[in-house]
Amino acid sequence: MIRAYGLTKRYGEKTVVQDLTFTVRPGTVTGFLGPNGAGKSTTMRMLLGLDAPTSGRATIGDRCYAAHPAPLCAAGALLEARSIHPGRSARGHLLALAHTHGIPRRQVTAVIERVGLGEAADRRVKGFSLGMGQRLGIAAALLADPATVILDEPVNGLDPEGVRWIRNLLKSLAAEGRTVFVSSHLMSEMALTAEHLVIIGRGRLLADTTVERFVRDAGLGVIKVVTPEAGRLRELLAGPGVDIAGDGPDTLRIGGSDGERIGRTAAAHSIPVFELTPHSASLEEAFMDLTRDAVEYPAHSEAPATAHGAAA
Amino acid sequence: MTGRPGDAPSRPQEQCPAAGPASAQAMASDAYAPTAPPRTPGATSTPAGAEQRNDGYGVTWPRVLHSEWAKLWSLRSTWISLIATCVVTVVLGMAVAGTYESGSADSDVGPVELTLLGTQFGQIMIAVLGVLVTAGEYATGMIRATFAAVPRRLPVLWAKATVFGAVAFAVMLVTVFLTFPLAQGFLSGTDMEAGLGDPGVVRALCGAAAGIALSGVLCLGFGALLRGVPAAIGAYIGAVLVLPEVAGLLPYGAVDDITAYLPSKATYALMATHHGPDLLAPGPALLAMGCWVAVTLAAAALLIKRRDV
């Protein structure tokens, strides 16, 4: 369980994180989303006591991280920037951390095997690829079998196989009853793994919700249906919670229903259907809508081009 | 604030900054149960049980020492620096002794200082290694992993200083007790002939090891203060190597008195058998070195506690 109460971090004039209050519960994967520069990494460092909040506080388990007698058991973390001495071997790095808590050597070996670094364990980290470095960071996070796992952009630099491995790992960690808090700037990635979402932009909390609710509130899950008998199908499908909008004479946009129900209804009444398309690709768009005003360095690609066109 | 290393793990609740009523309540009820049952895999939601497992793991002072010991020896640079220090000191000592002719040394140079000429280089290697022990962690980002494992932070600094100080002292002790007899083999019959039984020789050899180890710990403190390898080495060159030379050129008597207390002069005083008027006696020299180290480490501790990593 992670709790943040009014977490605020200022560097001089610049407020990086402002009054963040949220709770991360055990047993599920919670995604921590926001554009680059939104303050995700700073927040995570504050959770771990690496950065001191300007105001507010955070607890992991029942107390702030630094107050745990065995901090690595309370929370294991993969931080955004590499925090590994490149001159040490993977095993040497993990052993050094393990010694601080009295964690036995076999646990280090077990965690090396778990992240798939078995063959590279005694090589110096200097020669590791980005993905291997990421796996070592995750091994360090899991070292003490922690109740809470905090991972900052874990899929960065991983190949597709590695990305899938992370997804499964996160889900299994949550299924074991752990609190799993994972940051990402990719909504699509989080939609596949997380159940809960904490979304921030420019250091402020934008949403604290479930993936399901986020999808519903964003008006996603809309199904586009093309049929010559649009009016009739509309009447048949109408009901509480179902939201139907016309889009041209033959086209309906139906929210709050599902493809199976629409298809069966149409079939039962012999209504021909030319197209039945779930419109789900825009999860990323909904996230971008939400964070549009909060992007630190937005890219202006279209607007200036049009302006130039008009001027010419 | 964790003042001494020994009390680090014993009072887990005291450091929670601005602990509000909610956490105070939680702390009252949790009782730090070391007997909390291990989490059963597959259990879905057991927040209280899951958060308080212990398995006997926990940060203690001996464990932090063990970790720093392992960190030191798992880097190649440690082995290279220490072996090089030893070899250079022994070889230079023998070279100097082998080419020595009676009467060619300055009047204030004794047999120990002469044979330990190589420690001039050894001292620099130990200093650089001291810098790497702390600043190297900042440079590579390792410090974040270190402070995540030991969030009280200060035990790490004390452990680094203890482990590195002890290792540097042991290595230098072996080195000087190897160098002196080997070099003396060339000096029989000259005015620099001396044996381990001669007055002040063993003390000067031990003093040499202690002085060099302490200046290494001083540099470890510079590294922790300045958090960068180049900056800390710069501080060593400026404050330890150059400052006394510059100060020595100033035409004020008071400056000379102060110069004697500077780290490089105090280190030299520790290994000297002939104490001229501008050198401290061994006791005050050791005290001076101790003070420099204590002040630097205290300043580093203060900043480590306050700074973000």
Which residue of chain A is at minimal alpha-carbon distance from B155? A100
CATH of the domain at A238: 3.30.70
Q: Is the pLDDT of residue B169 over 50?
A: yes
- Alpha helices, H only, chain A: 40-47, 71-74, 90-101, 105-114, 130-142, 160-175, 187-193, 211-217, 230-237, 259-268, 283-291, 302-311
Segment A197-214, tens digit of pLDDT: 999 998 999 999 998 888
Please name the member of A26, A71, A85 whose beta carbon is closest to the beta carbon of B45: A26
pLDDT at A220: 61
Range A187-216 burial, b when 16+ CB lie within 10 A, else e = bebbbbbbbbbbbbbbbbbbbbeebeebbe
Could you report the per-residue pLDDT of B20-71, keeping only the tens digit for each?
Answer: 333 333 333 333 333 334 444 433 333 334 444 456 899 999 999 999 999 9
Distance CA B173, CA B180 (A): 11
Asked if A170 and A256 sit in the same domain, the reply is no
- Predicted confidence at residue A32, as pLDDT, reads 95
Of A69, A176, A179, the CB nearest to B42: A176
The answer to whether residue A284 sits within a structural domain is: no
Provide the pLDDT for residue A141: 96
Shortest distance, CA B79 to any CA of chain A (angstroms): 12
- Given a cut of 50, whether residue B275 has pLDDT beyond it is yes
A169 domain residue, yes or no: yes
Percent above pLDDT 90 for chain B: 66
Query: Given pLDDT bands bounded at 50, 70 and 90, which one contains residue A95?
Result: very high
Number of domains in chain A: 2
For the stretch A294-309, pLDDT in tens is 665 666 554 444 444 3
d(CA A88, CA A139): 15
The answer to whether the CB atoms of B57 and A70 lie below 8 A apart is yes
Question: What is the pLDDT at residue A157?
Answer: 80
Residue A70 lies in a domain: yes
Distances (CA, A) of B225 to A45, B167, B170, B290, B306: 21, 21, 25, 17, 12
Are residues B59 and A83, on separate chains, in Cβ contact within 8 Å? no
Q: Which of B135-149, B155-169, B257-271 shows the lowest per-residue confidence on average (mean pLDDT)?
A: B257-271
Query: What gap in Å lies between CA B131 and CA B196, rounded to an integer?
Result: 33
For residue B104, give both structure tokens. 């060619």
Alpha-carbon distance of B153 to B1, in angstroms, equals 10
Structural domain range at position A154: 2-216
- A244 shares a domain with A137: no
Q: How many CB atoms lie within 10 A of CB B241?
A: 15
Taking CA–CA distances from A92, the nearest residue in chain B reads B74
- Say if residue A173 is in the same domain as residue A250: no
Longest alpha-carbon distance in chain A: 72
Whether A187 and A258 map to the same domain: the answer is no
Residue A138 contacts residue A151 (beta carbons within 8 Å): yes
Same domain, A233 and A202: no
- Calculate how close chain A gets to B171, using CA atoms only, in Å: 22
Residues A225 and A191 in one domain: no
CB pair distance less than 8 Å for B77 and A97: no
Interval A182-194: pLDDT, tens: 999 888 888 889 9
Chain A residues whose beta carbon lies within 8 Å of the beta carbon of residue B2: none
Convert the pLDDT of each residue in B196-231 to its tens digit: 999 899 999 999 999 999 999 999 999 999 999 999
Contact between A67 and B15 using a beta-carbon 8 Å cutoff = yes
Residues A91 and A75 in one domain: yes
Q: Exposed/middle/buried for B231, CB within 10 Å: 0-12, 13-18, 19+?
A: middle
The CA distance from A260 to the nearest CA of chain B, in Å, is 32
pLDDT at A122 over 60: yes
Taking Cα atoms as reference points, which of A159, A155, A111, A119 lies closest to residue A136?
A111
Best residue of B144, B153, B229 to probe chain A, by most A CBs closer than 10 Å: B144
Residues of A with CB below 8 A from B135's CB?
A: none
In sequence order, the 6+-apart residues with CB closer than 8 A to the CB of A119 are none
Contact criterion met (CB below 8 Å) for A143 and A76: yes
Among the partner-chain residues B15, B27, B146, the one whose CB lies closest to the CB of A62 is B27
CATH code of the domain covering residue A107: 3.40.50.300
Q: Does A247 lie in the same domain as A265?
A: yes
Which of the residue ranges A17-26, A134-143, A182-191, A253-262 would you say has the lowest mean pLDDT? A253-262
- Average pLDDT value for residue range A42-61: 95
What is chain B's mean pLDDT, rounded? 84
Report the distance separating Cα A59 and Cα B21, nearest Å.
12
**A166 and A273 in a common domain:** no
Tell me if A235 sits within 8 A of A271, measured CB to CB: no
Give per-residue pLDDT as tens, B290-302: 999 999 999 999 9
Q: Which residues of B touch A16 (CB under 8 A)?
A: none
Whether pLDDT at A62 is above 90: no
Determine the average pLDDT of the residues in B147-171: 97
Measure A50 CA to nearest chain B CA, in Å.
6
A210 plus A229 within the same structural domain: no
**Which class for A252: exposed (0-12), middle (13-18), buried (19 or more C-beta within 10 A)?**
buried
Is the domain of A133 the same as that of A258? no
Nearest to B57 among A77, A95, A103 (CB): A103
How many A-B residue pairs are in contact by the CB < 8 A criterion? 193
Whether residue B280 contacts residue B270, with contact meaning beta carbons closer than 8 Å, is answered with no
Q: Report ipTM (2 d.p.).
A: 0.81
Is A257 among the domain residues? yes
Tokens 């007698």 sit at which residue?
Answer: A69
Is residue A182 within 8 Å of residue A28, measured between CB atoms? no
Q: Are B8 and B64 in contact (CB under 8 A)?
A: yes
Cβ–Cβ under 8 Å, residues A28 and A195 = yes
Residue in the structure block whose two tokens are 């070391």: B34
User: At A222, is the pLDDT very low, low, confident or very high (cuts 50, 70, 90)?
Assistant: confident
Task: Let me know whether A230 and A159 are in one domain.
Answer: no
Bigger pLDDT: A176 vs A306: A176
Closest by Cβ to B145, choosing from A83, A87, A175: A83
The region of weakest confidence among A300-304, B95-99, B117-121, B194-198 is A300-304
B292 vs A189: CA distance, rounded Å: 54
CA nearest B263: which of B169, B127, B108? B127
